[in-house]
Chain A
Amino acid sequence: VSSLLAAAFIVAVFLLDSPGAWAEGSPLLRVTREAVLRDTVGKVIAPASRELLAKSRDLTNALGGLGFSSSADALTKARQAWMATMLAARVVQGYEAGPLTDRDAAAAFSFSQILPGRITGVLNSTRPLTATHVEELGSPAKGLFALEYLLFGPRTTETGAAKAASPADMLASPQGSRLVAYLKLLAHDLEARAAHVAGDWSAADGAAKQFIAGGQESINTLVNQLAMHLEVAAENRLGFVLRLPEPIARQYQRVECSASGSSQQSVRALISGIERYYRGGDGAGLDDLVNQLNPALARRIEAQFAATLFAVDLLAAPLEDVVVKDRAALQDAYDKARALEILFKVDLASTLGVTITFSSNDGD
């Protein structure tokens, strides 16, 4: 009888109260997982998705300007709007789960090599350009990086001439109106996807509520996502350029953001975005949990983020240029990012009781 009573008491203690109710008021527990999840979604994930929506709208508006004038100024504004959208997308990419994948929006903002022939085919086609037509296009001819190709043109090789006409020339050509229509449809498509994602994160009963209610499951997903994207930053961005065979100039199209010359800014935005998720913005974040459980590790991660971002800042030029001019600096940035990746995959996962479930090479 005493055994049964003891067992019943323990079970009752664990099960009868609503989760977190006592934890909130306790002076012993400084940061709860629930608080971390609430702040991560409320202060980082949802604002980042709204930021992406705002920048996508700006891009659509900037491309609207191209319709009235094909001046260099309008093109510059459109390019700036594209850059802002790309940087906002890199932040959102740090947590590529929930609405971003549920809404099938991730691919539109992620890098995949575009096929110039496919894009030229669209421009030369006589088929009317409609939203349906764009919907039917595969990722090599639509999304953020098709827009980059159309706005910036292919990066010229080291030996000189571009293989395709520049966007400015294209806009001035008889094909200009079709190009503008194509650009607008692509931007509308991006904006619509960003709107869905932002709407889902901001809805009262939406993804945010599920994320917070997910508890340890959500912590698992968050840490897995951040670790995976640190691997993307280290291996698929910095390491990838380091491993490119000579001559590098022949490989530009394989490097993310090479057309816009922003590959260094892109990887920096990705890593600093991951740091924002880790910190929970200015609220409670994973860093607070780690600090509570293993302060030494919290300090190591903080120092490694700083070192990695500093090393990436030092590159100060597109990665595909740095690899030729200052390979050691790129190697140093890669090593720092790699160390940060290991800290997340091993030490952080261990401290937070997280199982890393994605396999290497799961990233883009």
Chain B
Amino acid sequence: MMVTEERLPGWRSACTRLFDAPIDIAALAAFRILFGTMMALGMARFLAKGWVRELYVAPAFHFTYPGFEWVRPLPDFWMHAHFAALVLLAVGIALGCFYRVCVVLFFLGFSYVELLDQANYLNHYYFISLISGLMILLPAHRAWSIDARRAPPLRASTVPAWTLNLLRFQVGVVYFFAGLAKVNADWLLHAQPLRLWLAARSDLPIVGPWLSEQWVACAASWCGAIFDLTIPFLLLHRRTRAPAYVAVIVFHISTWLLFNIGMFPWIMMVAALVMFPPDWPRALASRVAKHFGGTSISSSPTCTDVTPLPRWGIALLAAYAVVQLALPLRPYLMPQPPAWTGRGFNLAWQVMIVEKTGFVEFHAVDPESGQRHRLSAKEYLTPRQEMMMAQDPQLIRDFARHLSSEMKRRGQSAVQINVNAYASLNGRPSQPMINPAVDLAGPVSPDWIVPLVR
């Protein structure tokens, strides 16, 4: 690893190391290539599995985010074209071909997709949006890219340290807060939801029989929490880095095999590489070359000066960091568990800590006659949306309002929407989730969500 800054005293030295020290661009360029490749595969997988139609085109109703109700899905053909364009943009990012244009458009295009429906929220989609947003700022195309080949003045062998540290911060936040979210009684004392999830895989060969054992779930829970809480620090430390990355591989491959969590393990295995020294790709290439009898094919670049980050740039990064630290702390300020109420659960790295199954039915009630009839959600929602909604009181309320407005549109104005909603959280017996007497179409009192029986 290159260390170029002169020895400066106190905070200035620390700031220089964090922000302005020139570091090898190799890690950043490698991250660009791996991230772009991963995204291209991910978007192509989306198309191949037919999820574009299933998630965005088929539903007649979307659970839009507050303030983003104007974000609407495109027609079938154009939605598919949008994903095809995301594949091309991701390839552009990987190749470093018109990188800035590609990464800006990818960020906008991917975030647009994510804003379409809250029922599709996944932590790793949020992570991708954040990373692609950050990459707009990063000069990751100044080496090992078509852009650099085409425009020699663009080429650089070093970048300021903040570029890599920003990614390290983001990856560290994900792991650390995912670990912090596991510090609770369900996870550590009752080994839930791992007990349920592991036991569900008890038919697997060799390891299967052990997975239904309680002590295995307990051990896995504790190991998982310790892993998430410590892995960013262990990866940053030279002496612990190698075993820590082995742990990353083992952990994420295991979760990939045991649970249906898509691209997340692979994305995190790639993302964890940012914790390595900036010259890791060159070091790896040298070792591979040596192994095959060659000589080192590339060496770390000599020190070059980089433009220091202006004060407003530091302020911007600090503001971003504050937001990223504050958002995952929201759940700890809530009186009821966010997993139960749906408030403060998203954007907080509450990763894989909840097994929640819900059931909901909607009733239109005439307040004058007391007559009630059951409403079908099937007309508006796909089975997947219905399943996601049944777990989340906020989505249930959104849909109740939609049903109410639909009924008003059909001339049935004075109708209340009541629900029978039950849910089970982390193996607890099912219980009512929403007060069945509350009209969800109108203003609700603060106690409309029934508190979780602990």
Contacts and interface: CB of A to CB of B under 8 A. Distances in A.
A23 B359 contact: no
Contacts of B387: 355-357
A35 to B, nearest CB: 10
Contacts of A7: 249-250, 253
A282 to B, nearest CB: 22
B246 A2 contact: yes
Given A3-B246, A6-B249, A28 B197 contact: no
A353 B196 contact: yes
Interface in A332-362: 342-343, 345-347, 349-353, 355-362
Contacts of B378: 359-362
Contact of A347 (B202, B213, B430): B430
A350 B424 contact: yes
Contacts of A350: 196, 355-357, 424, 427, 430
A215 B196 CA distance: 17
Interface in A264-296: 292-294, 296
Contacts of A32: 202-203
A249 interface: no
B320 to A, nearest CB: 31
Interface in A40-84: none
Given A11-B253, A29-B208, A359 B377 contact: yes
A353 B203 contact: no
B202 A359 contact: no
B199 interface: yes
Q: With a 10 A CB-CB cut-off, give which of B212, B254, B361, B374 has the most chain A CB atoms.
A: B212
B contact patch SS: mixed
Contact of B377 (A294, A296, A360): A360
Interface in A196-244: 215-216
Interface string A103-142: 0000000000000000000000000000000000000000
A187 B63 CA distance: 50
B430 A342 contact: yes
A18 B377 CA distance: 41
Contact of B242 (A2, A353, A356): A2
Interface in B179-228: 195-197, 199-200, 202-210, 212-213
Interface of B: 195-197, 199-200, 202-210, 212-213, 242, 245-246, 249-250, 253-254, 257, 355-359, 361, 374, 376-378, 381, 383, 386-387, 422-424, 427, 429-430
Sorted nearest first, the 9 A-B pairs with minimum C-beta distance are A353-B200, A17-B205, A26-B209, A350-B357, A346-B430, A29-B209, A28-B209, A359-B378, A3-B249
Interface of A: 2-4, 6-7, 10-11, 13-14, 16-23, 26, 28-29, 32-34, 215-216, 292-294, 296-297, 300, 342-343, 345-347, 349-353, 355-362
